[in-house]
Structure 1
């Protein structure tokens, strides 16, 4: 084959690839999009995922339907997502356990964030310090002063070792130079709320939304959120950054697709969800449930996840967890 003919054939082949790629991009999405939420229906991650997806589908010619696949601390559903055809028609939702708990413990063979393409962070739900009205504390400064004056006497309830709230209380002790009497409670924050009401605890760490009932009744007070962003639903509770500390802990929701999903398809999805995120309806709704809307697009979210892992794993190493 002559060099001229070879170049001509190569040009035609490359042109065909470009046309094929453009055709695929133009056709996406060609069918309804499946969103796997790796938690049972009815929880916070499920509600937020459904709400923003209902709005996002208004920006696309297809519907987005949610499938709840719980199990193995989110791994069951997310591994199904990563094994789906990487064409943009199957997505998944990542939370704290997906990014921290599972990778840290190598708990599920085959589970890896490297098999996923993060699209965007949608929300953050910071941990907060909530105290019982019976405790007598009305500010973060009073709580810390009491813990310094009488080490191991201020009773703080958190989820079990290895959880975000458990790490939060240990990091808070390190940053403030205090020692709390830390009491762990398995399961949801309901047990901690009951312990606050009974006087069994002075304070507890979880999201403000988790304690919304006793906050609204006045039986508990939110002292501080472990965040750098003001929660628009609880404007009387300052972020800890305003008190001179850098400490951000809590959960979040990240949208992801299988690795090798075409960039054009990811861009369409990101655009649709960003428009949904920015809508007045979503902003009003998400703040009404006590969650902070917090967008990071595809260009930023991967780096943020890496930084979060590095910082959190370092704390876990120091605590031998």
Structure 2
């Protein structure tokens, strides 16, 4: 009798938990959703995050507000995200450094992608080689020939060791048989843009969108994009594949929630952001920035992350990084 009574209470307790979970899922979202962007305000990832969240919240009964928490190559903000209650009311933005640089170097204790539940990929953005007008280079072959003629003379700015642009310049040196004077700049590409303007750099590697201001003003020129596809926003910049090189690299914007976030919440978040992604307003806006809209939903994005890590880490092993 005592066992029967305990069993009945146990079953009731489970039923109550399931009922509570179902009610909570039905009520989601019950408050505003916090979107953590682990970069300072004003950058490319911040702009994309703000634009799509403004559109996504139109599908929600609550607001989605952006909070910029930079630091530790995106780890500071994303670790705050993973420590938040996994109820769908906190979401984080991941970029290249979040997926490649941090895991590869084990740079920040406690940081792990295994503590996150991917929601979607929003955009992809190829890197590009951009030159200052002071350099005198008008095409990619001129840049390569100058580096061959005088090794270490062509000054190229990139993000720090382990970043996509850093790997790109080392791979380009191998493929072209040249040696550049590589100068690293921590933080955003704005420092590289200033160095191009002042003549401190001959060239830099980042996205065309990052340098769009100085390209439009005529102070810089895009020579080649590290892609196999022509960017329709920059028809005058050829993909590097047309010049005989195999070198594709760039950044992206992903969304993720803390691990163990209820599936119902992930589904609602994914649906809202997908609706925003497919809207004419977002597609028109993102095209104007030179970024490629590139959707992958929750069922596919984890496999894409795994494949990207595997391929990139092999390249890093080959370069001894």
The TM-score bracket by the shorter chain reads: 0.7 to 0.9
In 2, distance between residues paired with 1:176 and 1:97?
Answer: 26
Query: Taking structure 1 as reference, are residues 310 and 194 closer, same or farther at Cα in structure 2, changes over 3 Å only?
Result: same
The CA deviation string for residues 256-285 of structure 1, in whole angstroms up to 9 with x for no partner, is 011111222211111110110111111222
Structure 1 length as normaliser, TM-score?
0.86
In the TM superposition, what is the alpha-carbon distance from 1:81 to its structure 2 partner?
A: 1.3
Q: Distance in 1 between matches of 2:159 and 2:75?
A: 20
Higher mean displacement: 84-93 or 271-280 = 84-93
Change (3 A) 1:139 1:11: same
In 1, distance between residues paired with 2:164 and 2:135? 24
Match of 1:52 in 2: 52
Offset at residue 191 of structure 1 (A)? 4.1
CA apart distance, 1:58? 0.7
Q: 1:198 & 1:54 partners in 2: Cα distance? A: 37
Q: How does 1:1-321 map to 2 (within 5 A)?
A: 22-321=22-321
Asked if 2 retains the 8 angstrom alpha-carbon contact of 1:228 and 1:240, the reply is: yes
The alignment's TM-score, normalised by the length of structure 2, stands at 0.86
* Structure 1 residue 251: Cα displacement: 2.1
Supply the distance in 2 between the matched residues of 1:300 and 1:53 (Cα, whole angstroms).
21
| Unmatched segments (≥5 aa) in structure 1 | 2-8
Contact persistence 1:232–1:292 (CA under 8 A) = no
The 1-side partners of 2:276 and 2:190 are apart by 32
**Whole-angstrom CA distance in 1 between matches of 2:273 and 2:257:** 13
Distance 2:89 2:157 in 1: 42
Cα deviations by residue, 1:106-138 (Å, 9 ceiling, x for unpaired): 122111000001111112232110123343433
TM superposition shift of 1:230: 3.6
Are 1:40 and 1:70, in contact at CA under 8 Å, matched by a contact in 2? Answer: yes
Structure 2: state its 5+ residue gaps.
2-8
- Over the aligned positions, Cα root-mean-square deviation in angstroms equals 2.9
